[in-house]
Amino acid sequence: MHKKNPEENQKINQPPTCWIVTEGIKGTENQCIGVAEMLNVDPVVKTVSLNQPWLSLSPYLGFEMERTFSGDDLSPPYPDLLITGGRKAIAVSRYIRKKSNGRTKTLHMLDPKISTRHFDLVAIPEHDKRRGKNVIVTKATPNRVSVKTLQAGKIEFGSFSALPSPRIAVMIGGNSAVYDFDMNTAKKLVHDLKTLQGTHQASLMITMSRRTPTQIAQFIQEALQENDNVYIWDGEDPNPYFGFLAWADIILVTADSTSMLSESCTTGKPTYMVPLKAKKRLGRIKTLQNNLIKHGGLRIFDGKIEQWRYKPLNDSQIVANEVKKRLSELF
């Protein structure tokens, strides 16, 4: 019988090495980091771009080589586990899987739009239709919200405890491929928030996105900043996002952000969706919203708030559990 030497035992007890590679979109990157955190691995986070013709033809072209990529270094030694997310990172996953002769195990987040046979595992939210033997299906989008991150947010932003309850976190996005955030919507939102402050003596914790139209961001800030018990993040101080989620009693999220809707419903706290004007048929994002409503975590905001309970989403943990089970040789 072969006896493992001390070096082999030490290697077995070490967590697998891990890279996260995306094209740099924060929401996609956070999905990957959320899973890595649930796996208790310490990932190296990399950002890549594609050169032509792969940039235009990804993910369908294939034939990836060193000159396919620009951005962070993709040289060996390759990791035990590669987590990728987004269209441009598909080429990275195929490239490293081939260059490592399959030693690097690959997990791709989101529908790759190509056969899942190119990956060891693929994690896809329920509102996407692709399925397969190596597909892990989640209720919404995996994310970094967990007991640990919420506890850290509560400690880091302990000053929010001075705000009176109910504390309403207001997560404002902006224009997207399918939504317009117009001034009429902004005016109605401000009116409703002021009303809630009057009827519930509520405090407001407000953050806006880089996608929030400048005119609307200025209007919201000017309309609310002089009110008592209102905190509006200035975009410069440390991002209080996890602090908002940790201290909030109620969460309001604009309809455009699948990430923020998923993250809010992972807290287990009552989450309301602020409707926006649709520019076209909503498709997948509407399916996600309906799934969250059916789950019990999400309701449509109509100017009123109430408390209710539901089972918090746990999509990052679901993916991590399946990775550990299906790639048990790494863990």
Q: What is the mean pLDDT of the chain?
A: 93
Looking at the domain assignment, is residue 305 inside a domain? no
Is the same domain home to 190 and 291?
yes
Is the same domain home to 294 and 151?
yes
Domain that includes residue 326, residue range: 6-139+317-330
pLDDT tens profile 95-137: 999 999 999 999 999 999 899 999 999 999 998 888 999 999 9
pLDDT greater than 60 at residue 147: yes
Total of domains in the chain: 2
pLDDT greater than 80 at residue 166: yes
Q: Residue 234 has what pLDDT?
A: 86
Is the same domain home to 151 and 135?
no
Q: What is the CATH number of the domain that holds 259?
A: 3.40.50.2000
Q: How many CB atoms lie within 10 A of CB 86?
A: 22
Is the same domain home to 151 and 281?
yes
Query: Which range, of 8-17, 192-201, 287-296, averages the lowest pLDDT?
Result: 8-17
pLDDT tens profile 72-97: 999 999 999 999 999 999 999 999 99
Cα–Cα nearest to 71, from 56, 91, 98, 57: 91
**In percent, how much of the chain has pLDDT > 90?**
82
Q: For residues 263 and 302, what is the distance between their CA atoms, to the nearest angstrom? A: 21
Is the same domain home to 289 and 175?
yes
Is the same domain home to 15 and 111?
yes
Is the same domain home to 96 and 213?
no
pLDDT greater than 60 at residue 3: no
Is the same domain home to 47 and 152?
no
Mean pLDDT, rounded, for 290-314:
97
Q: Residue 12 has what pLDDT?
A: 59
**Model confidence, pTM:** 0.89
Nearby residues of 99 by Cβ (< 8 Å), 6 or more positions away: 76, 78
